[in-house]
Amino acid sequence: MLLLTVRMLIEFILRNNYHGFFEIEKPCAIALEKANFLITNMFDPNNLYSRFAFFESEIEAVNKKFSVNLLFFCFVLKNNKGSY
C-alpha cells in the first residue's frame, strides 16, 4: 500500500506541475511508466511488495518468486556480458 501511495503522489505532483506536458497522451504515458519504473527500482527491486498477492501468500511462495527472479537475473547477466 505504501508503494501505491508513493506512485499516486508522484503522479499527482507531476500532473499538477507540468500541465501542458501531461495533456498530451503519449508522452504522459511514457513519463508515468518511467516514473513507476524508477519507484519500483528504488523501493522494491525484487517486486515483493508491489503486488497484493504476496501479502496474502505463504512464505514458500515468496521464497519461490525470489529464487525464480534470482535465476532469471543470473541468466540475463550470463548471456549479456559486456552489452552495456
Q: What is the pLDDT of residue 84?
A: 45
Residue 62 is given by DSSP the state H
pLDDT averaged per 10 residues, the chain (length 84)? 86 92 91 90 76 60 64 62 51
Q: CA separation (Å) from 71 to 36, 65, 66?
A: 24, 10, 9
**Nearest-angstrom CA–CA distance, 27 and 12:** 16
